[in-house]
Amino acid sequence: MRNDLSSSDKAARVRGMFSRIAPRYDLMNRLMTAGQDVRWRKEIIRLARLQPGARVLDLGAGTGDIAREALRQQPECLSVAADFTLEMMLAGQPRNLRGLVWCAADALNLPYDEHTFDAVVSGFLLRNVADLPRAIAEQYRVLKPGGRWVALDTTPPPQKSPLTPFIRFHMRRVIPFLGEVITGERDAYVYLPTSSENFLGAKVLARLVEAAGFQQVAFRRYLFGVVAIHQAVKPA
């Protein structure tokens, strides 16, 4: 995807892409990451430290895997799964859990009051939004003071690792091939490695999160450094 797309162009293309791959999205995730994505989602919720009665927002929830994980780890929380692609949320309905609330929402203009949530979490959202500082500012706004922010996303592959050629081969060849076979949507799985390689490095993203006002910003890399989980706290 080109970087000079206007915000509305990017949003429309991202939404269109996810609406087409929605039925096979989860299967592709399991295959591409050899099942590691399940472990990362558990870690996101562990880091969110949900207490009984907490409200958690899973933004860019897609089929709702993270929002469901929140209810598994803390059955007494209110878990809100929000996304702007209806087809992704519909694909998650057969695995609905009691207590899960679905919401159509744009990450750049959240329909919630400030200080609504105890935690805001996301998985593979940030790379896809048209205006990243605004998306982070919106998440900051709806978090309560002292609330926790946790985000999982890809990071550009390391430049100097001996594994880099293998990582690039997996991203540039294997993932588009699998995407075509499993979903019939090769373009979406060319977009994934391209947007990953062009996304901010983990340290740069951490600085952006700090600039938005968050404290205790930290991150950890996974899967040979191509995925990172960032966490931060809104000052109390």
Residues 71 to 110 in contact with ligand SAM, rule: CB under 6 A: 83-85, 88, 106-108
Distance CA 134, CA 64 (A): 23
Which of 120, 61, 124 has its CA nearest to residue 87? 61
**Helix/strand/coil for 129:** coil
CB of 216 to ligand SAM, least distance (A): 23
Q: Which is nearer to ligand SAM, 14 or 57 (CB)?
A: 14
**Helix/strand/coil for 101:** strand
Instruction: Verify binding: residue 61, ligand SAM, rule CB under 6 A.
Output: yes
DSSP-H helix ranges across 102-163: 132-142
CB-CB neighbours of 205 under 10 Å: 22
The residue assigned the tokens 């205006």 is 131
Instruction: Verify binding: residue 190, ligand SAM, rule CB under 6 A.
Output: no
Distance CA 164, CA 157 (A): 7
Which of 72, 65, 94, 91 has its CA nearest to residue 81? 65
CB of 235 to ligand SAM, least distance (A): 25
Instruction: Verify binding: residue 48, ligand SAM, rule CB under 6 A.
Output: no
Instruction: Verify binding: residue 14, ligand SAM, rule CB under 6 A.
Output: yes
CB of 132 to ligand SAM, least distance (A): 10
Q: Which is nearer to ligand SAM, 74 or 139 (CB)?
A: 139
Instruction: Verify binding: residue 66, ligand SAM, rule CB under 6 A.
Output: yes
- Walk across the sheet containing 227-233 and list its strands: 100-104, 78-83, 55-59, 117-123, 143-154, 227-233, 215-222
The only residue of 60, 147, 176, 179 in contact with ligand SAM, by rule CB under 6 A: 60
**Helix/strand/coil for 106:** strand
Q: Which is nearer to ligand SAM, 11 or 202 (CB)?
A: 11
CB of 153 to ligand SAM, least distance (A): 9
Residues 103 to 132 in contact with ligand SAM, rule: CB under 6 A: 106-108, 123-125, 128-129
Please report, as ranges, the residues that interact with ligand SAM according to CB under 6 A: 11, 14-15, 18, 29, 60-62, 65-66, 83-85, 88, 106-108, 123-125, 128-129
